[in-house]
Amino acid sequence: MSTGSPYYPIAGLTPDALSPRKEICNYFSNYPLYSLAWSRREDRNRMFRMALGTFLEESTNKLQQTTRPDFGLIAEAAVDYPVTKILWHPVKTGYSSDLLATTGDMLADLGLRAKLTTRADYAAPITSFDWNSIDPTAHYYLELWDIETNQAKTQLIAHDREVFDVGFVAGSQDVFASAGADGSIRMFDLRSLEHSTILFEAPSTTAQSAADPSNYSSTARITSFTPPLLRLSCNAVDPNYIATFALDAHQVSILDVRFPGSPVIQLIGHQAPIHSVAWNPGSSSQLCSAGADSRVLPTNAAPSLTYAARLPVNSLAWHQNSAEWVSIAFGNTVQTLRL
């Protein structure tokens, strides 16, 4: 449950805290937190609800909801395994209640109280999914699902290894991108699923392996390793831009779908591996990244938002309808910063 004062001035916590309008709001959980998502509602009575997923390496986890003005706990449900991703349904009308989908050991639609697929269907946990914001009756992770019929429409196999993240591009009901352990970003079109486009492939890195200690005449060998791409974030305004980062990377790569093959820019500033990246939903040029160095770094922010948390930051989320708010999760805490 929430404890302590949820608000305190940001002045003194960041080097640029000059505006009296800035503040930080806290939510304290009894459990380690990983995934989080803001409601996509536009009405003020519901738009400031946030869903959070705990991360306990056991079959007893929680899905929690909190809301303003005090960011206290308003609802809690038990889930079997850690929630790897949460997203609210993008439609504001047409349903009697808000829908909330999660992934972990299964893809579950909590608004319909339906388990769209179970762990028995796959050999590994489900890491990600995305709602189609144009045609929100379907969302894709490894398969395309129709939540009205609770049936998978099709299954796509394109990556050479595991798929870690997916996202629909802005303004499209057909085009989406995926990131995987094979180090590639691929783009798909629902109208032509026989083919996919390789937008980017992470360059291989080399490392010297140790010599065999049992063979005094052996020598060290040079090995090649392609780093997995862990997450991607499609620009919510401009469909041409995608942000991604690789395993243990300290930089964010910005891709332009019109110029495949290499990043148009790499954002450098983190001093430890990046854990999360997200575009501002109301801007085509602003994004934030956060990582193991406990830092939250923006690009093209005015004023600058550079901020240091108390612990490594696991994830971040912009408010979908009020982009002056951005939240980060670390330890048992979610901090929400009003710019």
Could you give the CA distance from residue 23 to residue 132 in angstroms, rounded to a whole number? 33
Q: Is 119 helix (H, G, I), strand (E, B) or coil?
A: helix
Kindly report the number of other CB atoms within 10 A of residue 122's CB atom: 14
Instruction: Provide the mean pLDDT of the chain.
Output: 78
pLDDT of residue 235: 95
Distance CA 229, CA 232 (A): 8
* Contacts with 213 (C-beta within 8 Å, 6 or more apart), sequence order: none
Distance CA 179, CA 211 (A): 34
- Indicate if the alpha-carbon torsion angle 94, 96, 97, 100 is positive or negative: negative
User: What's 191's DSSP letter?
Assistant: T
Distance CA 169, CA 189 (A): 10
Q: pTM of the predicted model, to two decimals?
A: 0.79
Report which DSSP code applies to 30.
S
> In the CATH scheme, what is the code of domain 31-203+222-338?
2.130.10.10
Confidence of residue 143 (pLDDT cuts 50, 70, 90): low
Rounded to an integer, what distance in angstroms lies between the CA atom of residue 19 and that of residue 229? 37
Rounded-to-10 torsion of CA 208, 209, 211, 213 = 140
Per-residue model confidence as pLDDT tens digits over 213-270: 555 555 556 667 889 999 999 999 999 999 999 999 999 999 999 999 999 999 999 9
Q: Which residues contact 14 (CB under 8 A, 6 or more apart)?
A: 305, 306, 307, 308
Q: How far apart are CA 205 and CA 104, in angstroms?
A: 31
Q: Dihedral of CA 292/293/295/296: which sign?
A: negative
Closest to 169 measured CA to CA, from 149, 197, 211, 127 = 197
3-state class (DSSP) for residue 121:
helix
pLDDT tens digits for 198-229? Answer: 999 998 877 655 555 555 555 556 667 889 99
Backbone angles phi, psi at 309, to 5 degrees: -85, 175
Contacts of 238 (CB under 8 A, 6+ apart): 170, 284
For range 289-312, the mean pLDDT: 83
121 φ/ψ angles, rounded to the nearest 5 degrees: -75, -15
Do 111 and 98 meet the contact criterion of CB atoms below 8 Å apart?
yes
What residues does each domain of the chain span?
31-203+222-338
**Tell me: the pLDDT tens digits for 52-109?**
999 988 778 898 998 877 788 888 888 888 888 888 887 655 554 577 888 775 555 5
225: helix, coil or strand? strand
